[in-house]
Structure 1
Amino acid sequence: MTSISAQRLFELKKLTARIFASPIPLTQTKNSRNGSRILLKKPSSISIGSHYPSKEYYEATKVQRLIAPLKGTRYEPVDFDESIRLLKIEEKKKRGKGAPKKKEEDVKDIKKKK
């Protein structure tokens, strides 16, 4: 089996696009320069970077943006990781593997300090 050169494959894609009246995808054109390398980089200057939210703010608001459309409806988002964690804690408590209970004296001392 012989290998087909990149030039021949590109010509085939151009011909197929012309026959089916569809554009050639930018990522498949020869020497394509669609700007993806630049768009994936972080902004270099402070003035440009100030237009973008900080990573902490973005991560904090990501969940809020997912929950916002569900408010006012009968559907509520479920955090599966948290529910699994709570189930594991309950199982451990049933087996006696949970955190030890505080002594009553310690609880009274804590209440007095407040």
Structure 2
Amino acid sequence: MAAIAPARLAALTRMRCEIFQTAYNPTSVRTGAKYLRARLRGPSMIQYYPDELSVARFNRMGGDFKIQDWDEYQRLSDVEEKKRRGKGAPKKAKSPAESRRQSRKR
């Protein structure tokens, strides 16, 4: 019984990969194909965890009943206090002439 030549076996493997549309990897290099073929986990996780109902989302739902969002109220008061102390965000430039970046370029 004669042994089959390695070149013929490699050609057979290459043809099999073409026919069945699999990756031809004769050197067994890691390709990550296992992870690329795997089912995505994101949609299942989104279905598992329920939607969180926040105060802002409740107020946007419509209706006459509104809830005071104390966290947002506190944030806005902190921003106002920072502005009064001069620590707030800088004003946006209305034109390129007012831009700080333009004045630096010379």
TM-score, normalising length from structure 1?
0.33
More helix by share: 1
TM-score, normalising length from structure 2?
0.35
Which of the pair has more CA radius of gyration? 2
